[in-house]
Chains A and B, each alone.
Chain A
Amino acid sequence: MLTIYRRLLWLYPKTYRREFQEEMAEVLGQLHADSANAGPAARIQFYVREGAGLLAGALRENWRQSLTRRFTVRNEFRFPKATWILMTIILAGVIVAIEKGEAIVASVPHIGEPVGPIHSGDHSLLVGIIGSFVVIYALGLLAWGIVYAMRRSEVH
């Protein structure tokens, strides 16, 4: 039983284990030795109390560590190089699109004339806008994926 309880210590985060595992194992051993002289009811109480305490403690410490890590990442957050490259590519794409648009406008005759009704079959503008959004979102998702992967690998 004591071995199982010692194994439960592995549920704690690594940094916590490094600091307290040895002490906790020693105290558990001493308490276990005390409970050996006690009656069965007291022994059951000991097992339940220690089991619940270890599980609750492990849960609390893991939660605390994940929160601390999240806030630390936010505080020290820097955009990775890949994001800057992606942002530059997106910006270049936008500039090229604007230039292309201007070229199309310049090449169309009678630009001052009122624009006629858009035929229902002509969806190229709508498709273009949706396509642009899809591309931008895909790039954003890719950038987020890169940042997330770097966070997971603790580069930051």
Chain B
Amino acid sequence: METMPLTEPVLMILLSLAEQPRHGYSILKDVEEMSAGRVVLSTGTLYGALRRLLDDDWIERLEQKDISRGKQSYRLTQRGRKNLQFEVNRLKHLTKLAHLRIAWKES
């Protein structure tokens, strides 16, 4: 599956949802924690990314009863998980290549 390289905020959001379904506030906090405070998303950035991911069918809303709209949770779809896996493999390959090149330069 060929996809464009993901931006860091989108990758972090997908990684956050890969573990478990989360609502907006929980995603923001998880991303901040995962990146040790380096990536702090704003509400506008988060919901812009969520809207695009929903449109592309990478994530979906979790059906919940008796939950207000403000606590709406999201989860990865099959497609989103596949694309995330693809991106992780791409990054792995890139990191391996970078290690090899750096090691070659040092030797």
Contact = CB atoms under 8 A, between A and B. Distances in A.
Contacts of A56: 44-45
A55 B23 CA distance: 22
Given A16-B51, A27-B28, A22 B43 contact: no
Interface string B31-47: 00000000011111111
A54 B46 CA distance: 10
B43 A28 contact: yes
Kindly state the interface size class of chain A when it binds its partner. Answer: 20 to 34
A22 B24 CA distance: 11
Nearest to B71: A26
A57 B48 contact: yes
Contact of A30 (B25, B44, B47, B69): B25
Contacts of B71: 26
Interface in B58-91: 68-72
- The dominant DSSP class at the B interface is helix
B42 A52 contact: yes
Nearest to B41: A53
Contacts of A25: 70
A49 B42 contact: yes
A27 B43 contact: yes
Contacts of B70: 22-23, 25-27
A58 to B, nearest CB: 7
Contact of A57 (B24, B40, B44, B72): B44
A20 B47 CA distance: 7
B28 A19 contact: no
Interface in A1-26: 16, 19-20, 22-26
25 contacts: A16-B51, A20-B50, A22-B70, A23-B23, A23-B24, A23-B47, A23-B69, A23-B72, A26-B24, A26-B25, A26-B70, A27-B28, A27-B43, A27-B70, A31-B28, A50-B43, A53-B41, A53-B45, A54-B44, A56-B44, A57-B45, A57-B47, A58-B44, A61-B48, A61-B51
Interface of A: 16, 19-20, 22-28, 30-31, 49-50, 52-58, 60-61
Interface of B: 23-25, 28, 40-48, 50-51, 68-72
